[in-house]
Structure 1
Amino acid sequence: MNTRELINSIIMLFVVLDPFTVVPFYIPTANLLPKEKRKKFLNTLILAAVFMLLAFTIIGDYIFKILGVTFNDFRVAAGLILLVYAISSLFDIEIGAPKNNIEDIEKEAIVPLATPLLAGPGSISTVLYIRYSYGYPIAIITIFINIVLAYLILYAGQYILKYLGEHGALLVDKFMSLILAGFAISIIRASIMSII
């Protein structure tokens, strides 16, 4: 296993998952629950996100074969999706934000918090790209390391929001969006060069 590839994959997925931007949605929803149910709520959120990412990592390859999608086709598509995701974040275009009127709070752990906010199109595209580029072991390790990091960040969400403040959280979000845009362009460039 190539350590550099693993580190690059972990960073790439972390940037796309961006659990810091999920914190402002997670905390108000979790606070509507009794304290004894908040841990279960977070566990449900994390398990749902893991399921989504692993499912696409494992069966996504077979689906693409059935549809006749090539590796370079997928890389271009993934790069474009990531670029759109980065631009939407930079320009504050909300994707899958939770509704203000919550009828069933516990279901919010799955939709929209686990998906599409945490394990959304960008994250799914990234794990599939990592799977194609580096193989199953690196993809699966990358998913679990990032999910652990996401769990810790969401668990400590109250303290993070208090420490960073509104402007600090916004700065982190924009910085990560710029990095994500760079990753997206590099993926598209490499794919086009391979096609040529």
Structure 2
Amino acid sequence: MQLIFKEIITAFMVLFAVIDIVGNIPIIIDLRKKVGHIQSEKASIIAGAIMIVFLFLGKSILNLIGIDVNSFAIAGAFILFFIALEMILGITLYKEEDNNVMTASIFPLAFPLIAGPGSLTTLLSLRAEFRVENIIIAIILNVIVIFVVLKTSKKIERFLGQNGINIIRKVFGVVLLAIAVKLFAVNIKILFNI
């Protein structure tokens, strides 16, 4: 087991940007209005569990269907690229709405809002580059942040205001865009032996 601080921080920042829990505060508040109460602990733990399980089983699932990690990482780079564009330009390329929310803490909050296609793809992409134990610590740190944000979402929204949330989304969007480009470049070289 080798803990590398730089890998933990990078993995944490990438996941934080993809999950975009601060940018999702308006969605969280809207869910609270619809269902009355969100179980922050349950949503955080389930999202964390989904991400950790996918980190370990994702590669096996890919091998089962005949896809290598580098190809998946390139596909992940495209997803990150589009998520980044959404964040920077303030557009919605894809958003599935579910107004009949029975268990809001699990669906759509834990999955697919927190542990969605973007974060799961990112985990496999990170696994191609970083050590598993560092990614797990990054996931746990993100789950703690998610829990804190869910618990204090109303206060954060009041403190940051809509403009503050928009600025944070755009900054993380640019970071995510740069990460998507790097991820694409690294894995395309490996795939084509450049």
Band the TM-score falls in, shorter-chain normalisation: 0.7 to 0.9
Which position in structure 2 is the counterpart of 1:25? 27
SS in structure 2 of the partner of residue 115 of structure 1: helix
The TM-score with structure 2 as length reference comes to 0.87
- Output aligned runs, 1:22-171, within 5 Å: 22-32=24-34, 38=37, 41-91=39-89, 92-93=91-92, 95-96=94-95, 98-99=97-98, 101-102=99-100, 104=102, 107-171=103-167
Q: Is the 8 A contact 2:35 2:104 kept in 1?
A: no
Q: Which runs of 5+ in 1 are unaligned?
A: none
The alpha-carbon distance between structure 1 residues 93 and 178, as it changes in their structure 2 partners (threshold 3 A), is same
State how far apart, in whole Å, the 2-side matches of 1:31 and 1:103 are.
11
RMSD of aligned Cα (Å):
2.0
The TM-score with structure 1 as length reference comes to 0.86
Q: Is the 8 A contact 1:17 1:119 kept in 2?
A: yes
Shift of 1:183: 0.5
Sequence identity (%): 25
Which structure dedicates a bigger proportion of its chain to helix? Answer: 1
Which position in structure 2 is the counterpart of 1:6? 8
Q: Which runs of 5+ in 2 are unaligned?
A: none
State how far apart, in whole Å, the 1-side matches of 2:165 and 2:82 are.
21
Shift of 1:72: 2.0
1:87-135, Cα deviation, whole Å (9 max, x unpaired): 2333320644554x4453xx12222122222111111111112223223
